[in-house]
Structure 1
Amino acid sequence: MTVSVTDDIVSLVASNAPVAIGVSGGKDSQAAAIATFHYLNALDHKGPRILVHADLGTVEWDDSLRVCQELADHLECDLVVVRRKAGGLMERWESRWLSSKTRYETLSTVTLVPCWSTPAMRFCTSELKTHVIMADLKSRFKGQKILNVIGVRREESAARARMSVADSDAGGQVWTWRPIIELTTDDVFGMIDRSGLTPHPAYRVHGMTRVSCRFCIMSNIADLTAATAVPESHELYRRMVRLESESGFAFQGSRWLGDVAPHLLTSDEREALQLAKHRATLRKEIEGQITKPMLYVKGWPTRMLTNDEAEILASVRNQVTEIYGFTSHHLTVDSIHERYAGLLDEKARKEAA
């Protein structure tokens, strides 16, 4: 059974360091757990071993937790389930839209911010998986070096092809290990089948090519369509489309989730989606007048606006506010100048402190 290792990993295993394997219910985490346990057994590793599942809430497939538990039972280890205290991923998307709306109304942002996570801004992974898992591991294994195993493979993407077999955090406490990084999809399914376990039904029953969230920001149209065909996904689908309609932002940049299975929506929901698309087109055209120097950098203006720039921003904000029905402040040239001045003063005080 092929497992990728480094000298550091070999040394940590020999020292019986705790091993935590992140599992989602998907094929890669299943294979990573199976391969890692086989390797640890061969080296007579006697340290603690656990599987860790970050529960993302309503966006999860119903079978995911069951698949993780069956894997833990098969490997005879504990399954630890961690969750973001403020709610799951759907709640995070919804709260992000409310925050975006409030920030726009108070001119804490110049343009409306999308509510969805994106391939370039995957807070769905960083906030709801990595952060909560790392917090649990560092609390559970205080003062120890920890092996954090993840099922990443080079074949999956160009970005993952460049990843190393292992690397450590800044403090050197947690080592992230990618033991199946060189394996192919066929290798992974073969390993699961030989173990006697069954892959998540989303693959062979529902026809999905990847299993993460039921509707993932990384999914192709075939996977999105396959997910809508499963009755357990319908309530989540409608909830996500309602957020598209309310925010005016498509789930995948230019691809609207509501277009994938419009037959699952009511006539009112389909009408709301069409209005949202129209609103999105208008917003993009209107906000296109804003130049880069007018934007904030890391939440702060970089300078005062000229009168011409303030006039443009006032016009933009009035139009966007009307389109969305917001209760916005700072809609005049003078109030925009006042807001920028106040933020620049606040920024200066923070930097001085």
Structure 2
Amino acid sequence: MVSSGQIEFPGFAPEVPDLARYRWILANLSGGKDSQAMLVELMRHARAAGVVDRIVVVHADLGDAEWEGTAELAAEHAAFYGLRFEVVARTGSGLIDRIEERGMFPSADNRWCTSDFKRGPVRRLMTRLVREAEAEGHPGRVHILNVMGLRADESPARRRLLSFAHDSAYTCPCSYCAPRRAIADDHKARDLPVPKHAKTGWGASNTLRHVDTWLPVHTWSTSDVWAAVRPSGLRIHPAYAAGMPRLSCVFCVLASRSALVRAAQLQPALAARYAALEERIGHRFQADRSMADIIKEAEASPPIAAVACWQG
């Protein structure tokens, strides 16, 4: 989708990969507007390429930390298009309990919530999909396209992402990763620092799977997203109508003050649970803001109509 409201960034032109070269196309669906728009755009291209049957929708379930009905809504979105749907989650304690176990909340500099509760579980699904392909007689490495609804205007870090990129890793034998690994090994053997251009990263690719990442709506504006979602027929989560600009965790550690206050007005019991957790572990929800303070403001304020979005 290209519209007059689309954000243009030099070097970040939208790219559409050859969908037919992938055995699996993994659509990461949060239930929020950006992943809905991603699914609409993905379906448009998958239908044209005749590969709709290769799409697997995955939802990373955050349990009590996410808005009620989010997982069910993601399943509904997948069913709308007749797609296979998988729910993944971290093995063990949920996000809120894990915060207590670690004795600290995630932060912008330490977003362990993303790696533990999203990236890790999704990679386990990739492993399972590889095994399925192998059982069906798929020869060689299994190619997987990991599709997400990340957008450049959500944060400086996301702005730096490419709309299409190989998810490189040290154990990946592809023509991109192998030469870099050789350079890195040579430098390590001589006790020299590995140059930046030789670092392969810690991506999802390995000896059994080749993983690429595609961000179909990376350069889209918020207006572009809603222009795709509203006429699509996909139901929108009620948190948006209640004033929330994004559908992440109910209380995201990166969220704006007004977003946290509005969330506390909508989910007071969960806010109280976070405040009690703060007191037990002796760590503030945000460095400059406690959940206890958010609750006081939520109780003293009328329903917030203008909720500020946030970066991250």
> TM-score, with normalisation over the residues of structure 1?
0.65
Deviations 1:71-97 (A, max 9, x none): 111111021001111121101101111
Counterpart-to-counterpart distance in 1, 2:126 and 2:144: 8
Question: Are 1:148 and 2:158 matched, yes or no?
Answer: no
Q: Choose which of 238, 261, 283 in structure 2 pairs with 1:249.
A: 283
Q: Choose which of 116, 130, 134 in structure 2 pairs with 1:127.
A: 116
Are the aligned partners of 2:77 and 2:235 in contact in 1 as well (CA < 8 Å)? no
Q: Choose which of 264, 268, 271 in structure 2 pairs with 1:237.
A: 271
1:335 corresponding residue in structure 2: none
Counterpart-to-counterpart distance in 2, 1:43 and 1:72: 19
1:259 corresponding residue in structure 2: 293
Secondary structure at the counterpart of residue 5 of structure 1: coil
1:346 corresponding residue in structure 2: none
1:94-113 → structure 2 map (5 Å cutoff)? 94-97=100-103
Instruction: Decide whether aligned partners of structure 1 residues 241 and 161 sit closer, same or farther in structure 2, where only a CA change above 3 A counts.
Output: same
Question: Are 1:214 and 2:270 matched, yes or no?
Answer: no
1:159 corresponding residue in structure 2: 157
Deviations 1:26-73 (A, max 9, x none): 111111111111111112225521110011111111121122122111
1:228 corresponding residue in structure 2: 264
2:218 corresponding residue in structure 1: 181
1:38 corresponding residue in structure 2: 44
Are the aligned partners of 1:151 and 1:180 in contact in 2 as well (CA < 8 Å)? yes
2:91 corresponding residue in structure 1: 85
Are the aligned partners of 1:22 and 1:52 in contact in 2 as well (CA < 8 Å)? yes
Are the aligned partners of 1:16 and 1:46 in contact in 2 as well (CA < 8 Å)? no
> Structure 1 segments of 4 or more deviating over 6 A?
none
1:330-345 → structure 2 map (5 Å cutoff)? none
2:78 corresponding residue in structure 1: 72
- Report the alpha carbon displacement of residue 141 of structure 1 after superposing the two structures with TM: 2.3
Counterpart-to-counterpart distance in 1, 2:14 and 2:248: 24
- Decide which structure has greater helix share: 1
1:325 corresponding residue in structure 2: none
Question: Are 1:169 and 2:203 matched, yes or no?
Answer: no
Counterpart-to-counterpart distance in 1, 2:283 and 2:65: 18
Deviations 1:273-305 (A, max 9, x none): xxxxxxxxxxxxxxxxxxxxxxxxxxxxxxxxx
Instruction: Decide whether aligned partners of structure 1 residues 189 and 46 sit closer, same or farther in structure 2, where only a CA change above 3 A counts.
Output: closer
Question: Are 1:116 and 2:115 matched, yes or no?
Answer: no
Q: Choose which of 24, 29, 34 in structure 1 pairs with 2:30.
A: 24
2:303 corresponding residue in structure 1: none
Are the aligned partners of 1:152 and 1:160 in contact in 2 as well (CA < 8 Å)? yes
AA aligned to 1:225 is V
Counterpart-to-counterpart distance in 1, 2:262 and 2:35: 22
AA aligned to 1:161 is R
Identity fraction in percent: 32
Secondary structure at the counterpart of residue 88 of structure 2: strand
1:183-202 → structure 2 map (5 Å cutoff)? 183-202=220-239
Deviations 1:97-155 (A, max 9, x none): 1xxxxxxxxxxxxxxxxx11001111111111001101111222244110111111111
1:329 corresponding residue in structure 2: none
Secondary structure at the counterpart of residue 80 of structure 2: helix
1:48 corresponding residue in structure 2: 54
2:14 corresponding residue in structure 1: 4
Counterpart-to-counterpart distance in 2, 1:176 and 1:238: 38
Counterpart-to-counterpart distance in 2, 1:47 and 1:16: 11
Equivalent pairs counted in the alignment come to 241
Secondary structure at the counterpart of residue 138 of structure 1: helix
Instruction: Decide whether aligned partners of structure 1 residues 16 and 252 sit closer, same or farther in structure 2, where only a CA change above 3 A counts.
Output: same
Counterpart-to-counterpart distance in 1, 2:168 and 2:80: 30
Work out which of the two has the higher radius of gyration on C-alpha atoms and give 1 or 2. 1
- Report the alpha carbon displacement of residue 263 of structure 1 after superposing the two structures with TM: 7.9
2:64 corresponding residue in structure 1: 58
Secondary structure at the counterpart of residue 195 of structure 1: coil
